[in-house]
Amino acid sequence: MTLDLVILTIAALTFFIGGLAKGAIGFGLPMLAIPMLTAVGSLPLALSIAVPPAIATNLWQFWKFREYRKITFLRTFLVTAALGLIAGTFILKSIENAYLEIMLGCLVLIYLFKPKGAREAMSAPQLTRLAPVLGTLAGLVHGSIGLSGLVAPPFFLAAGLSRSAFIFATSALFIVMAALHIPSLALAGLYEPSALLIGLIVILPAFAGVWIGGLLGERLKASTFPTLVKTMLILAATLSIWGGLEFFYSSSI
């Protein structure tokens, strides 16, 4: 098992920065790290590196916020996301992921820049109906490009969850996604064992970021939290679109 120091350095830095976001608002770890890692390596490599720190940090937040586990639609969302992930991993083998990155990024930006009245909290019946649909979509997206954070957080935000409940829900989702991703990537012939050592090492900077971000997040006003979530989603969507466009540009040269 070889250790690429350039990739390790980039991974450590980006997972620390992503950890700051995750500690404060519950997501952002792989969403920031994967585009950066993909710029210096393959997408399967980036996804493989992301698994160990994603599992470790989400388990910690899942346990910390476990008292907020009674979210009615969450179980359905998680089950359908798991099924979608398996299918999404095989989609990664058959289509160019740049198309998905651009399309998903654009859809998220369209949603976020809708008039405020069009993004008000959903009712319980709406959440029940949409949970399996968006859960499946989150799994498909995570399995194909590793960015379910562009699907689930907008849905959880629309559900009107508090910061603590939001962090619990995102942690539960990412645990399921990360736990299933290694066998799914392996079955599809995409898992890169050389990434395991890097993934284990960057657990430390990821946890450092989550710890510092958590301290900052506890001081947030309730009204500030949705704004930070939307800001992170805008950043992640922009990076997703940029990554897709960069691929097409480099391919045309």
The pLDDT value recorded for residue 87 is: 82
Spacing of C-alpha 198 from chain mean position: 19
Is pLDDT at 117 greater than 70 in this prediction? no
The structural domains of the chain, with segments of one domain joined by +, span: 5-252
Spacing of C-alpha 12 from chain mean position: 17
Q: How confident is the model at residue 115 (pLDDT cuts 50, 70, 90)?
A: low
Count Cβ atoms below 10 Å from residue 72 Cβ, excluding itself: 11
The pLDDT value recorded for residue 31 is: 76
Cα–Cα distance measured from residue 39 to residue 47, given in angstroms and rounded to the nearest whole number: 13
Q: pLDDT digits over 193-240, tens only? A: 778 888 899 999 999 999 999 999 988 888 888 889 889 889 888 888
CA neighbours closer than 13 Å in the CB half-sphere of residue 177: 37
Cα–Cα distance measured from residue 80 to residue 75, given in angstroms and rounded to the nearest whole number: 9
The pLDDT value recorded for residue 1 is: 46
Cα–Cα distance measured from residue 173 to residue 156, given in angstroms and rounded to the nearest whole number: 11
Count Cβ atoms below 10 Å from residue 229 Cβ, excluding itself: 24
Classify residue 70 by burial, with Cβ atoms within 10 Å: 0-12, 13-18, 19+.
exposed
Q: pLDDT digits over 9-48, tens only? A: 888 998 999 899 999 999 888 777 777 787 777 777 787 8
Q: What is the mean pLDDT of residues 77-102?
A: 79
The pLDDT value recorded for residue 81 is: 93
Cα–Cα distance measured from residue 159 to residue 138, given in angstroms and rounded to the nearest whole number: 16
Count Cβ atoms below 10 Å from residue 189 Cβ, excluding itself: 8
The vertex-220 CA angle with 218 and 222, nearest 5°, equals: 110
Q: pLDDT digits over 122-135, tens only? A: 778 889 899 999 99
Q: How confident is the model at residue 92 (pLDDT cuts 50, 70, 90)?
A: low
Q: pLDDT digits over 144-189, tens only? A: 777 777 889 889 988 889 999 999 999 999 898 888 877 777 776 7
